Structure 1
Amino acid sequence: MTVRTELFKQITGALANAKFPIKTPEELLNAFPDGANTTCKAEGVKMTAGEACKLLKPGDFPFKTAGQVANTILERAGL
């Protein structure tokens, strides 16, 4: 499994109970189980939700699915 695939699974899993659409960065952080401290890691890559949200832009919102969130974060992180 690639790093991207593993992180995608972890991000979407963390957002499994989130209510979409998510319209703001604050809503997104609150949707993660441990808020900004929610951590995903794979093969030496570690990212918190707080760090990931810094990669997002106002135009990225609203998010309609967890997969959309994960893909946007991973693309911006260069993964």
Structure 2
Amino acid sequence: MADEAELREQLTDAFENADYPVSGPMELVPALPDGPGTRFQSGDFSMSAMELNAKTDGGEFPYEDVDSLVDDLIAELKAAGEL
């Protein structure tokens, strides 16, 4: 089972250096350490940034800060049964 706090920390670390506000997912790619191949892992959960974008509806852009982005991503992963 995935540890939500660990996953939240990974997502925050990966997206915190984006140039906020961001108006779409493509604006987040330059901030990712390994681009779209950046992988988020916790327990039995493992997903690349590219998979994350495909398995969520992308959130409610624009985002003014990393915390609101990560909150929405976690909520969407839960709703999709991924967490």
Give the TM-score of the pair, scaled to structure 1. 0.82
Give matches, 1:1-79, under 5 Å: 3-54=3-54, 55-57=56-58, 60-78=60-78, 79=83
Structure 2 regions of 5+ residues with no counterpart?
Answer: none
Aligned residues: 77
What is the aligned-residue RMSD (CA, Å)?
Answer: 1.7
Secondary structure class of the residue paired with 1:74: helix
Distance in 1 (alpha carbons) for counterparts of 2:6 and 2:35: 20
Structure 1 regions of 5+ residues with no counterpart?
Answer: none
Secondary structure class of the residue paired with 1:77: helix
Share of identical aligned residues, percent? 30
- Letter aligned with residue 13 of structure 2: G
User: Are the counterparts in 1 of residues 25 and 53 from structure 2 also a CA contact under 8 Å?
Assistant: yes
Residue 16 (structure 1) shift: 2.6
User: Are the counterparts in 1 of residues 16 and 31 from structure 2 also a CA contact under 8 Å?
Assistant: no
Distance in 2 (alpha carbons) for counterparts of 1:67 and 1:51: 20
- Letter aligned with residue 13 of structure 1: D
